[in-house]
Structure formats: structure tokens, C-alpha cells
Amino acid sequence: MRRSAELGFAFAQARLAAVTRGDEWLKFAQLAAAQGERDGFSRLGWCFRGGAGCERNLDKAIENFLLASELGVISALGSLGNLFDESDPQRWQWWSRAAALGESFFFLDNFSKQVELFNSGSGSGAVMFAIGRSLQGHVIEQARTIFGSKINFDSFISPAKQAIAFYEAQIKATKYAMRAWALVGIRFNVVKDVRKLIAKLIWDSREEALYDVSEGEEKQEEREEQQSARALRAEKRPRK
């Protein structure tokens, strides 16, 4: 294999990068990546992640893992997720992309812990939002699968449904906030372009999970209807 790598065969270079260390790892990973070999990009990402034969550089690690994933290395998406802390929503975005393509281990093995932390009051709403969004469309109760996997379904289904419900409630609350702002903006003659800009800012903030949605859906709907009615009455009231 070494002979093939030294003769310039990209696949052999990528394979050699997987079994060597330090400077040789970096050398053969770079040679393979230079020829567009997908595993070369993946191995180069690991070099920059751990500082193998080079200085540690997370930006370059992300760049190479992305290139590898675009060429079909699903495991590179999991590696990307591992670059971020468990409290960073980006970890869950990358892990969910890997899970949707068949490599669900990282996501399924860790998401229920984050749901538990959130329920205990020490977790992140933004992470709960990212998990719920990722799970949408990938929980099939009839088939008893999550991301196509039947493993530990009975243990995972409850936290999965909780995360999805939280995501949906946040989206609903954000849309309500946008509608309420629109009514207030109209009531006080705020310029249309400014109203649209602020509404966009409200929508763009949805991933931060800023709204308290713990009071229950029915009570929340009742409260929102009352607030909408008050806003409409204010809009119709003659202006002085």
C-alpha cells in the first residue's frame, strides 16, 4: 500500500493516512485530499482537529470534514458534531444530518440526556429546540423507529416527543409574537419596512427558544386569543 501511495494513488494515500501517525498522517492525508479523495479530506480533518503533524486548527478541521461529507463520508458529519460542546446547538444540527443519512449513533445515544437536563432546569432551551427540530419527521411510532432505528425505542420515544412538542410550541409562540408586533406596529403607525425588519428579527431569534411554553397548550392558546383581541380593539379605537 505504501508503494501505491508513493506512486500517487489517492485511495492508497488516504488508507495510509488512516494507519500512520504524526507527520506521515498529515502528509498522506494532504496528498489524497489534493486529488479530491473524500477519505483524504476526512483524515485531514482529524489531523487539524487533534494537531497531528500540524498545529490544531478547528476552522480547518471543519472545512475538511465538510468537504468529506459533501463527497459522501457520512461519518464526517458526526465528526463535525463532535467539534462542538454538547450545549452548542450546532452539535445537534450536524449529528442530526448524520442520523438522517443512516449514522444515528451519536444523536440517539446522547439526546435523551439533554432533554432530561432541560426538564430539570439545568439544560439549554436552544439545544432542546435543535433536538426537537431534528427529530421532526424522523419519529415513526407505528414502525417504532427513530431515524430508522428500532434500538431502545421505548426509552427514546418519550424524550423525543417532549423535544418535538417544545420545538413546535416555540415556533407557535414566535409566530404569535410576530403577529402581535404587526398589530402594535400598525396601531402606532410604524413604517412598514421597519415593521417587516423587526418581524424578521423576531423570527430569526426562534432558535434561541426565548418563550416560556411550560403553561400548557390550551392555556397558552386562550391567553394568546385574549391578547390578540385586545390588540385588535386597540387598533380599531379612534386615534386622538
CATH of the domain at 10: 1.25.40.10
Report if residue 166 sits inside a domain.
Answer: no
Tell me the H-state helices in the chain: 2-6, 10-19, 22-34, 38-50, 58-70, 75-82, 89-100, 105-120, 125-135, 153-187, 192-204, 217-236
Report if residue 38 sits inside a domain.
Answer: yes
Task: Name all contacts of 67-74 with Cβ < 8 Å and 24+ positions apart.
Answer: 67/33, 67/38, 67/41, 68/38, 68/39, 68/41, 68/42, 69/97, 71/36, 71/38, 71/41, 72/38, 73/38, 73/39, 73/41, 73/42, 74/98, 74/101, 74/102, 74/103
Q: At 139, which helix (H) or strand (E)?
A: strand 139-140
CA 120 to chain centre: 22
Q: What are phi and psi of 14, to 5 degrees?
A: -65, -40
Provide the β-strand partners of residue 114.
none
Mean pLDDT calculated for residue range 203-207: 90
Integer Cα distance of 96 and 168 in angstroms: 17
- The CA-to-CA distance between both ends of the chain, in Å, stands at 86
Question: pLDDT-derived band of residue 3, with 50, 70 and 90 as boundaries?
Answer: confident
For residue range 56-93, list pLDDT tens digits in order.
999 999 999 999 999 989 999 999 999 999 999 999 99
Integer Cα distance of 194 and 159 in angstroms: 40
Question: pLDDT-derived band of residue 22, with 50, 70 and 90 as boundaries?
Answer: confident
Residues with Cβ within 8 Å of residue 76, at least 6 apart in sequence: 41, 42, 45, 65, 66, 68, 69
Which comes out higher in pLDDT, residue 23 or 214? Answer: 23
Mean pLDDT calculated for residue range 144-148: 97
Q: What percent of the chain has pLDDT over 70?
A: 89
Question: pLDDT-derived band of residue 218, with 50, 70 and 90 as boundaries?
Answer: low
Q: What pLDDT does 220 receive? A: 53
Report if residue 34 sits inside a domain.
Answer: yes
What residue numbers bound the domain in which 59 lies? 1-73
141: how many CB neighbours lie within 10 A of its CB?
A: 11
Report if residue 91 sits inside a domain.
Answer: no
Into how many domains does the chain fold?
Answer: 1
The amino acid at 70: E
114 CB-side CA count, 13 A: 25
User: Residue 222 pLDDT > 70, yes or no?
Assistant: no
Report if residue 187 sits inside a domain.
Answer: no
* CB contact at 8 A, 99 and 135: no
190 CB-side CA count, 13 A: 16
Q: Which of 218, 178, 216 is nearest to 198 (CA)?
A: 178
Q: What percent of the chain has pLDDT over 90?
A: 66
* CB contact at 8 A, 42 and 65: yes
Report if residue 215 sits inside a domain.
Answer: no
Report if residue 29 sits inside a domain.
Answer: yes
Report if residue 230 sits inside a domain.
Answer: no
